[in-house]
Amino acid sequence: MRTRPKPKRVLLKLSGEALIGEQSFGIDDNAVRAFAAEIAAVARTGTEIAIVIGGGNIFRGMAIAAQGGDRVTGDHMGMLATVMNALALEAALVREGLDARAMSAIEMPSICETYIHRRATWHMNKGLIVVLAGGTGNPYFTTDSGAALRALELECDALLKGTQVDGVYTADPRTDPTAELYEHVTYQEAIAKGLAVMDTAAFALARDNGLPIIVFNIHEPGALARIVAGEAVGTLVSAA
């Protein structure tokens, strides 16, 4: 078994798409419960977890912009979508018997806590799972950027990016049967080879600050647990 250093504190980026489950849109409670169970198994090993949740299962700002609408309004709606997902995930984690706290980058105090760096750090130090909604809190960004930003702020050892495939490939494995999975690539290789790891802003933030990214298949049962146990699952993107 190939190994990597065990991360003590991780940031998990969960895209909204993952919560669609068997449905065509929205939040599938079974999918949310399954992720909560995977996350609970990891949390019980003592790994500290922050989660940045996407909103693409409900709304993306580009959907409005593509029809000539106002991008900023669309992005506000997209960020609100991430809050719904965060509440669903928080509730599912609590049902698993864990302490979880949804925190939003956009203030909505009667619904959840506002993201404040020191408060989120405090929660994590106490063993709570923080579920971070609203991405960066600004339009023209994505939750991938939110994930890179929060991973750095919260001093996570790695950003775990759950995707629909097993990691970063030489080509799109869904259309090219010869595509091969990379076990490790450097930031420079990823740029030189034009590999789509995360969106450009998120990737630049990770690279400039030496934040390791592990890209893995979010639908593979047990993958998350194996990663935090130090197994070389998916693709590691790092400086060297």
Binding site for ligand UDP (CB under 6 A): 15-17, 54-56, 60-62, 74-75, 78-79, 81-82, 135-136, 138-139, 141-146
Residue spans of beta strands (DSSP E) within the chain: 9-14, 48-53, 100-104, 113-114, 129-133, 158-163, 184-186, 213-217, 235-238
- What's the CA dihedral at 137, 31, 200, 169 to 10 degrees? 170
What letters, b where the CB count within 10 A reaches 16 and e where it falls short, cover 42-73?
A: bbeeebbbbbbbbbbbbbbbeebbeeeeeeee
Give every CB contact of residue 122 below 8 A, 6+ residues apart in sequence: none
Smallest separation (angstroms) from ligand UDP to the CB of 82: 6
d(CA 118, CA 211): 20
Q: Which is nearer to ligand UDP, 41 or 65 (CB)?
A: 65
Smallest separation (angstroms) from ligand UDP to the CB of 140: 7
Q: Report CA-CA distances (Å) from 113 to 14, 63, 108, 141.
A: 20, 28, 7, 21
Q: Which is nearer to ligand UDP, 81 or 223 (CB)?
A: 81
Q: Which two tokens stand for residue 101?
A: 């706290």
Smallest separation (angstroms) from ligand UDP to the CB of 88: 13
Q: Which is nearer to ligand UDP, 84 or 190 (CB)?
A: 84
Which residues pair with residue 53 across a beta bridge?
14
Smallest separation (angstroms) from ligand UDP to the CB of 105: 7
Q: Which is nearer to ligand UDP, 4 or 130 (CB)?
A: 130
Q: Which is nearer to ligand UDP, 15 or 235 (CB)?
A: 15
Smallest separation (angstroms) from ligand UDP to the CB of 139: 4
3-state secondary structure of 71: helix
Smallest separation (angstroms) from ligand UDP to the CB of 63: 8
Q: Which is nearer to ligand UDP, 199 or 220 (CB)?
A: 199
Q: Which is nearer to ligand UDP, 138 or 186 (CB)?
A: 138
**Whose CA is closest to 130, among 138, 143, 119?**
119
Smallest separation (angstroms) from ligand UDP to the CB of 142: 4
Q: Are 95 and 36 in contact (CB under 8 A)?
A: yes
3-state secondary structure of 158: strand
